[in-house]
Amino acid sequence: MALIVYGGSVSPFVRKVRVMLAEKGVEYTLEQVNPFMPPPEFLTISPLKRIPVLRDTDRPEPNTLPDSSIICDYIEHKYPKPALYPADPFERARALWYEEYADSVVATNVGGGLFFERVVKKMMRGQTDEAVCQKTLTEKLPPLFDHLEHEVAAKEFLAGGAFSIADISVATMFVNFEHAGEKLDAKRWPKLADYVEKIHARPSFKALIDEETPFVQRFRAA
């Protein structure tokens, strides 16, 4: 058995897949791919030019899958223990909704409005547009955080009463929020801040955060 994950380690979507594999106890190899300058052969396995892509060498070619949500679903079915999707049909659907919410609206604002400006641009020798960052922080993100504060409420986990793809998908976006030099305002969003802190303390997340932080800080300080 050999799984290969292609993608950049600071991508929230690559991290999502890596956390999933860590929680399952599945070994894999990470091959770094810059989505802004991918090698030509990568485009044949990622037609949308996005990361991550998973290769399962247990299977005959073609043996690759693009898109983090597709990959996570495949991992869940190939390695069903421990379950990371709720068994109850309604709770499973709720978990998939949280995944979609994180992957779309949260990712667009945290990624494009903060992480891209403060980290990715510096990786590409560009200049941060701090006005974009401030607009994101003051106008775009607060309504999303208000919603998540309400959704977390008194729950330990978002769906099905157990750690799931919902928690992985939401929490990975907050890693990039912190990589961009921000911290949730615990006075304004106390439940959400506590929730994120606890999820990030899980070994699957903490190991990756510790791995990524020195790399990201190098560029933030530039």
pLDDT tens for the 222 residues of the chain, in order: 599 999 999 999 999 999 999 999 999 999 999 998 899 899 999 999 999 999 999 999 999 999 999 999 999 999 999 999 999 999 999 999 999 999 999 999 999 999 999 999 999 889 999 999 999 999 999 999 999 999 999 899 999 999 999 999 999 999 999 999 999 999 999 999 999 999 999 999 999 999 999 999 988 766
How high is the pLDDT of residue 1?
A: 57
Phi/psi at 54 (5° precision) = -110, 135
What are the structural domain ranges in the chain? Answer: 3-78, 89-220
pTM (2 decimals)?
0.97
What CATH number should be reported for the domain whose range is 3-78? 3.40.30.10
- Concatenated DSSP letters of 166-200: HHHHHHHHHHHHHHTT----TTTSHHHHHHHHHHH
How high is the pLDDT of residue 117?
A: 96
b/e 41-73 (16+ beta carbons within 10 angstroms → b)? ebeebbeeeebbbbbbeeeeeeebbbbbbebbb
Q: Quote the CA–CA distance of 167 and 112 in Å, as a whole number.
A: 21
How high is the pLDDT of residue 184?
A: 98
Which of these CATH numbers, 3.10.450.50, 3.30.930.10, 2.60.40.10, 1.20.1050.10, describes 89-220? 1.20.1050.10
